[in-house]
A and B are shown apart, each in its own frame.
Chain A
Amino acid sequence: MSDYREMWEELGLDLQAHDGLLEVLPPLYQETILSQENRPEGMGYFDFVFSEIHGLRVKELVEHRAQGGVVVGTFCTYVPEELVIAAGGICVGLCAGAQVAEEAAEQYLPRNLCSLIKSSLGFKLAKVCPYIESCDLLVGETTCDGKKKYYEILGEFQPVHVMELPQRKDEVDRALWRSEVRRLARRLEELTGKRIESEPLREAIKVVNEKRRALLRLAELRKSDPPVISGRDALLINQIAFYDDPKRLAEKVNALCDELVERREKGIFIGGSHRPRVLLSGCPMAIPNWKLPAIIENSGALVAMDEMCTGIRYFRHLVSEEATDLDGMLDAIADRYLRIDCAVFTPNRERLEHIKELVRDYSIDAVVYYALQFCDPYTVEAFRVRQELEKDGIPFLYLETDYSAEDVGQLTTRVQALIEMLETKSGSS
């Protein structure tokens, strides 16, 4: 990585703490991602982006701001990226995936709060995240009890706008959400001093849809058995999609997909013989949280699909491009985002149906449910996911964990037991 110390210093990072963080990442990346064999060449771009995670992309954000643009940080898939782009901004996902400054975060937050929120605040308090320090505005949403209050605490440090996300999906909820999307649009207009016009919004819808289409194409290729890409690589791409330039990302994902098609035609697969295919379902996995996918794949299975916010939930639905005026586009955006089937919704039948659909379409042998400790929506919903899947005879493994490495041994044992059971089952059938 080039020398970005001056830039980091100007952003107000704690350079010593930041150095410590950057020392940890490369060996972890080497061990988890780069050590995989027979990776497609197209992954080179994503390896490069990751190697420059606090460098080149941050520099782009700094330059964008120097030219009068704004940077908006988000913590959830519910914040419409299209609005930020149409307002001349860059949208970056800020969810954190590593245990950083947990003690400092616990000065503000109780212990019984999920790692994702604690870690996000930890990164802020420790001043080690150049992304959050580059943001002109943070946009939160009322997905869970933890976040409702977390955003208020975060507001002590930076401007925060919170979208009121309804927890149901009836007509009154849609009306509320549509007005919330408009409220965000007004907030962005205040931030930039410019109105959001229909043409830039139309273009932004296309740009983000193109990103989603590219990710959907990659998702489609993951149906291949034997596999053409590992679950870890696919997860990495999804994670990078939250902060990379959307047009460039779409282009690179499409190029990778072209290569994967070619490799498949030539019979080049990553796994060799058949491996048990796992659907990962549950809480999001922000960079550099690859703990569970690494355990699963190092134990001999493949993560064939991820039913999570850092997986297919992020790009599954497109915004309708049929609207002709600004109002219609805003409604189309609101409607698309309200279709996301996060566990905070009640009832949430769509999510169960979608999991079953993924099990069928991706020839899934078992579902591994990843729940962050203290995440009520996903831990409770696990109960019914398990019941539904077991009814269909699909093996289900519930794993509750956090960002620490302390439980790696225990998780590995449980995953290995599942895989052995699958292999025995497969052998006997």
Chain B
Amino acid sequence: MSTDADLSGREKEDKERRRIKSGGAMRELMTKYYLEAKAAEGTDRHIAWITSGGPVEPLIAFDVIPVYPENHGAMCGAAHMNVELCEVAESRGFSRDLCSYARGDIGSAVTKGGPIGGLPRPTFLVCCNNICNTVFKWYEELSRFFEVPLFIFDTPFVRGELSFHHKDYSVRQMEEYISFLERITGKEYDEARFVDVAAKSLYASSLWAQVLACNEHKPAPMTCFDAFILMAPIVTLRGTQEVVDFYQGLLKEMRERIERGIGILPSERYRLLWDNIPVWYEMRNLGRLFTELEACLVADTYTSAWTFEGVDVEDPLASMAAIYTEVYLNINLERMAEKIESLARRFDVDGMIMHSNRSCKPYSLGQYDLAKEFTRRTGKPTLIIEADHTDSRWYNRSEVETRIRDFVENLLGESVGV
């Protein structure tokens, strides 16, 4: 394994040239966010823990600090600290088959463990099942543990088009959500403020979509592994000006890279699509492997989940309700197949790698069908690897790396004729 110390001066210079500079601004933004959130603990300021797919804009509009256990879980996973937190939850009786984000979060709530010493204590919780049903039971436990109120947003599963009465169900819950926030915060709903937040959220989301679209270019200016890191602000703080500023800066950098022909990899021979949540604890190793194989993960189904469209300022609550109901993990397989086909064509990929994620049923169920459908529609091969997003005990590195190597060198090598 080579390290920076082994690199020649020229290689170091090249590596520095290819490094995404906005990473520093993002770390600064996220550090500030976590410091503020932790400093707010025990003050009059409300702190809400919310699921990653939950509507955050109302929280921002009510001046509540949103905190994301899943984002924290990713952080614990990347820091190789989630297994010990999972073990805490398991020792309390939670099944080892429960999502490792949930187990790690419960473990962290109990021990204040993890790279930032746990999350600030919530004053209430918001849970939306547009990403999975597990979050309901998980947040119910958090609600009991912290003895704080829980708002549940139940999004109907969308088959084909979102029907009128299902949309109405979501809209009515959005109204209930606002009433819940009014009760908790003692403030009245301010529609002008909400529209402003929704507009910023939409704008940041469109900037994020443009950032991701930059990877349509060859060579790609980043990999989706970079996007997994750079998505933190759009997940946690959309609706704020800081996030708009950050993604404006990032977009500018991506466009400059394209203009100057700077790709993220020294050599880009293959272009791949990634499906599912990252294997957080293995990003570095997998990143090295793909670089070595000259394979660039140019797009994925995960980061694009935060590219919302269609907020109607005339009816912001209803349009937000519909947007949150139709996220990627809450649509049927036919629509998912359309989405991956569209990504494959836009980003001109040579194949797809699907992470069958032991922790995430909504993401992993149907992948075999999707893989076949993807190949049928695009003629491109797929590889399914088995792992878990933050519980490394379910990961077999040598097996996964061998399969990826074989897939890229043999299958892709043949299909793209190199």
Chain A residues packing against B (C-beta within 8 Å): 107-113, 142, 144-146, 148-150, 152-153, 156, 162, 164, 166-168, 170, 172-173, 175-176, 179, 183, 343-344, 346-348, 371, 373-374, 376-377, 379-384, 386, 398, 400
B93 touches A382 (CB 8 A): yes
CB neighbours of A146 from chain B (8 A): 361, 365
Is B31 an interface residue when CB atoms closer than 8 A count as contact? no
CB neighbours of B362 from chain A (8 A): 145, 148-149
Is B269 an interface residue when CB atoms closer than 8 A count as contact? no
Residue of A nearest to B156 (CB): A164
A109, B356: Cα distance in complex, Å: 10
Beyond A148-B157, A373-B97, is A107–B169 a contact (Cβ under 8 Å)?
Answer: no
A167 touches B154 (CB 8 A): yes
Beyond A112-B358, A167-B129, is A384–B159 a contact (Cβ under 8 Å)?
Answer: no
B154 touches A173 (CB 8 A): yes
B364 touches A112 (CB 8 A): yes
Shortest B321–chain A CB gap in Å is 12
CB neighbours of A183 from chain B (8 A): 165
A376 touches B134 (CB 8 A): yes
Count of chain B residues with Cβ under 8 Å from any Cβ of A? 46
CB neighbours of B386 from chain A (8 A): 111
Q: Which B359-407 residues have a C-beta within 8 angstroms of A?
A: 361-362, 364-369, 386
A374 touches B97 (CB 8 A): yes
B157 touches A113 (CB 8 A): no
Interface centre among A111, A166, A176, A376 (most CB of B within 10 A): A376
Is B30 an interface residue when CB atoms closer than 8 A count as contact? no
Shortest B174–chain A CB gap in Å is 10
B368 touches A109 (CB 8 A): yes
Question: Which single member of A113, A142, A398 contacts B156 (CB below 8 Å)?
Answer: A142
B94 touches A383 (CB 8 A): yes
Shortest A374–chain B CB gap in Å is 5
Q: Which B73-106 residues have a C-beta within 8 angstroms of A?
A: 92-95, 97-99, 102
Contact with A along B152-169 (1 / 0, CB 8 A): 101011010000011001
A343, B93: Cα distance in complex, Å: 17
Closest 3 CB pairs of A and B: A380-B137, A346-B136, A379-B95
Is B133 an interface residue when CB atoms closer than 8 A count as contact? yes
Is B256 an interface residue when CB atoms closer than 8 A count as contact? no
Beyond A142-B156, A149-B366, A166-B154, is A112–B137 a contact (Cβ under 8 Å)?
Answer: no
B97 touches A162 (CB 8 A): no
Chain B residues packing against A (C-beta within 8 Å): 92-95, 97-99, 102, 127, 129, 132-134, 136-141, 144, 150, 152, 154, 156-157, 159, 165-166, 169, 172-173, 176, 332-334, 356, 358, 361-362, 364-369, 386
A360, B390: Cα distance in complex, Å: 42
A404, B187: Cα distance in complex, Å: 56
Residue of B nearest to A109 (CB): B365
CB neighbours of A376 from chain B (8 A): 97-99, 133-134, 137, 361
B159 touches A152 (CB 8 A): yes
Shortest A232–chain B CB gap in Å is 27
A376, B157: Cα distance in complex, Å: 18
CB neighbours of A110 from chain B (8 A): 356, 358, 361, 364-365, 367-368
Interface CB pairs A-B, < 8 A, 13:
A149-B333, A149-B365, A164-B156, A164-B157, A167-B133, A167-B136, A167-B152, A346-B127, A346-B137, A371-B95, A376-B137, A380-B102, A381-B137
Shortest A245–chain B CB gap in Å is 33
A113 touches B152 (CB 8 A): no
A176 touches B156 (CB 8 A): yes
B140 touches A346 (CB 8 A): yes
Residue of B nearest to A182 (CB): B165
B157 touches A383 (CB 8 A): no
A380, B97: Cα distance in complex, Å: 10
A113, B98: Cα distance in complex, Å: 11
CB neighbours of B166 from chain A (8 A): 164, 176
A145 touches B132 (CB 8 A): yes
A145 touches B95 (CB 8 A): no
A346, B126: Cα distance in complex, Å: 13
B137 touches A377 (CB 8 A): yes
Residue of B nearest to A162 (CB): B159
Residue of A nearest to B388 (CB): A112
B133 touches A113 (CB 8 A): no
A235, B140: Cα distance in complex, Å: 31
Shortest B202–chain A CB gap in Å is 26
Interface centre among A153, A172, A380 (most CB of B within 10 A): A380
B369 touches A383 (CB 8 A): no
Question: Which single member of A142, A166, A175, A384 contacts B144 (CB below 8 Å)?
Answer: A384
CB neighbours of B95 from chain A (8 A): 371, 373, 379-380, 382, 400
CB neighbours of A144 from chain B (8 A): 133
CB neighbours of A384 from chain B (8 A): 141, 144
Question: Which single member of B134, B169, B364, B367 contacts A380 (CB below 8 Å)?
Answer: B134
CB neighbours of B173 from chain A (8 A): 172
Residue of B nearest to A107 (CB): B368
Residue of A nearest to B164 (CB): A179
CB neighbours of A107 from chain B (8 A): 368
CB neighbours of A371 from chain B (8 A): 95
Shortest B388–chain A CB gap in Å is 9
A379, B102: Cα distance in complex, Å: 13
CB neighbours of B127 from chain A (8 A): 346
B366 touches A152 (CB 8 A): yes
CB neighbours of A179 from chain B (8 A): 165
CB neighbours of B172 from chain A (8 A): 172, 175
CB neighbours of B368 from chain A (8 A): 107-110
CB neighbours of B140 from chain A (8 A): 346-348, 380
CB neighbours of B369 from chain A (8 A): 108, 153, 156
